[in-house]
């Protein structure tokens, strides 16, 4: 899909897992969304969000990649998790983990 000069991509996915163990049976469903927006081939923002019914938690991984020139990239990554609090009926989910990482990959010509 073309959005004001850039490109956007969306993927939706679901998975059903059934387990049979000596201690009991279980069913876990998960839903995920992958989204990416590319202003151009050198500047891309992508995100992966997932929820599963087993833990009832939500996870997010969002990444910005800027290619200065081939082999030279800057990445900014944000990971976040939210946990469902089952003991407090007034709070649905709270942040669990939060991480921001910056990576610079630089190669030089010989």
Q: How high does pLDDT run on average in the chain?
A: 87
Distance of CA 72 to the CA centre of its chain: 23
Share of the chain above pLDDT 70, in %: 88
Model confidence, pTM: 0.74
Element (H, E) at 14: strand 6-21
37 closest CA partner among 61, 16, 8, 5: 8
DSSP 8-state code for residue 71 = T
List all residues 6 or more positions away from 42 whose beta carbon is below 8 Å from its beta carbon. Answer: 66, 67, 68
pLDDT digit string (tens) for 28-72? 899 999 999 999 999 999 999 999 887 788 999 999 999 999 889
What ranges do the domains of the chain cover? 1-18+31-41
């Amino acid at each position: 899909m073309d959005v004001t000069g850039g490109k956007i991509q969306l993927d939706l996915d679901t998975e059903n897992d059934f387990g049979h163990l000596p201690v009991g049976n279980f069913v876990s469903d998960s839903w995920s969304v992958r989204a990416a927006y590319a202003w151009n081939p050198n500047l891309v923002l992508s995100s992966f969000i997932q929820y599963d019914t087993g833990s009832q938690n939500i996870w997010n991984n969002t990444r910005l990649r800027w290619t200065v020139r081939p082999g030279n990239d800057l990445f900014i990554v944000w990971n976040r998790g939210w946990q469902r609090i089952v003991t407090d009926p007034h709070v649905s989910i709270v942040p669990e983990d939060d991480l921001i990482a910056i990576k610079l990959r630089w190669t030089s010509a010989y």
